[in-house]
Amino acid sequence: MVSCPVWQDEFDGTSVDMSKWNYRVEGTVRNYATVSRNTISLDGKGCLHIKVTKDNDGKYYVGQLGTAGLFSATYGYFECRAQMNKYVGPHVSFWLQSPTMTTVGDPAKNGVEIDIFEYHRKEP
């Protein structure tokens, strides 16, 4: 049996394809970093860049993309190719989240977050 993708993005443009992705809500996350779409770019060669930046006051800025309201799946095979950050700071991650994850408070009823990977750089 041959399967074919029902959703994919090769990031071959120069801007995020808003028919596939949305920017996660900007603002402070866990009192640690501020989500900012200014940290997200495409290089036009098939690479999505999500940078972690730090200002002079020590405040971190991170990028987050999601597919909420645009794509969801119950079952499937998910993959990405990623290069991890080389500096100490907020982590890099790839997760699957239920769109109702925080609405009920019972994971059996509203779903969970599945971490494909989370990478925490603790040492330079």
Sign of the CA dihedral with 108 first, then 111, 116, and 30 last: negative
88 in Cβ contact with 122 (< 8 Å): yes
Q: Average pLDDT of 97-121?
A: 78
CA distance 98 to 111: 5
pLDDT digits (tens, 9 = 90+) for 36-72: 999 999 999 999 999 888 899 988 888 999 998 999 8
| First and final C-alpha spacing in the chain | 46
* Domain regions of the chain by residue span: 22-119
Give me the DSSP letters along 87-106: SSSSPEEEEEE-TTTTTSS-
35 SS3 class: strand
- Verdict on whether the full-model pTM lies above 0.85: no
